[in-house]
Chains A and B, each alone.
Chain A
Amino acid sequence: NAGVTQTPKFQVLKTGQSMTLQCAQDMNHNSMYWYRQDPGMGLRLIYYSASEGTTDKGEVPNGYNVSRLNKREFSLRLESAAPSQTSVYFCASSEGPAGEQQYFGPGTRLTVT
């Protein structure tokens, strides 16, 4: 039981390049989330998917797109990376209903030069 997995662990991009961060969970959870973590700012929600087939914007969605590929997988895409997107990205999942514990992946450290 791997929980929440993320790939890659590290990535360096040049400004304007694109990439997709992958996330998968094996807990049969309905809801999945993408956060970014920046020093002194805690974690901020980028996008979330309350259930398979639905996605919604979080607090900081600009510059990102997401795809809920199936119940297990939720990917985050940067179409044209900018230095402001340098951050650590975390994927999380939960059973769904409000207040349920979210389980976090190990994170992807992204640097945009």
Chain B
Amino acid sequence: AQSVTQPDIHITVSEGASLELRCNYSYGATPYLFWYVQSPGQGLQLLLKYFSGDTLVQGIKGFEAEFKRSQSSFNLRKPSVHWSDAAEYFCAVVLTGGGNKLTFGTGTQLKVEL
């Protein structure tokens, strides 16, 4: 079955530490890939997206993600986490040829310790 997997339900990091959130997908072809962030009680905001080309994508708020075709992964990274980054992060995909319907992973809740 086609799916998007975020293996880590919760992650805790110290402020200033680096961060990597994992995302794997299982589709035959390379989909469009997205990372969204959701602050408590809010809607979702796009951090970055990958369509094609350079496999390292820069986003807002200092985030980046790297697409690795061989691993079917699209991991989100940040070199130095700020307390305001505490939120829930969702990886999502759109199948090429599937309209613009997003399929979301189950999310990773990030806690930042001061």
Contacts and interface: CB of A to CB of B under 8 A. Distances in A.
Output the residue of A4, A43, A59, A90 with the most chain B CB within 10 A: A43
B11 interface: no
A45 B102 contact: yes
Interface stretch (B13-21, B38-46, B64-72, B74-82): B38-46
B48 to A, nearest CB: 10
Contacts of B4: 42
B107 A42 contact: yes
Given A43-B90, A99-B49, A99-B51, A107 B100 contact: no
Contacts of B98: 98
Contacts of B34: 101
Contacts of A33: 101-102
B94 A41 contact: no
Nearest to A95: B100
A59 B92 CA distance: 14
Interface in A29-50: 31, 33, 40-45, 48, 50
**A-side interface mostly:** loop
Given A31-B100, A42-B104, A104 B43 contact: yes
Nearest to A100: B100
Interface of A: 4, 31, 33, 40-45, 48, 50, 58-59, 90, 92, 94, 96-102, 104-107
A36 B4 CA distance: 17
B1 to A, nearest CB: 12
Output the residue of B32, B45, B97, B99 with the most chain A CB within 10 A: B99
Nearest to A41: B106
A39 B49 CA distance: 24
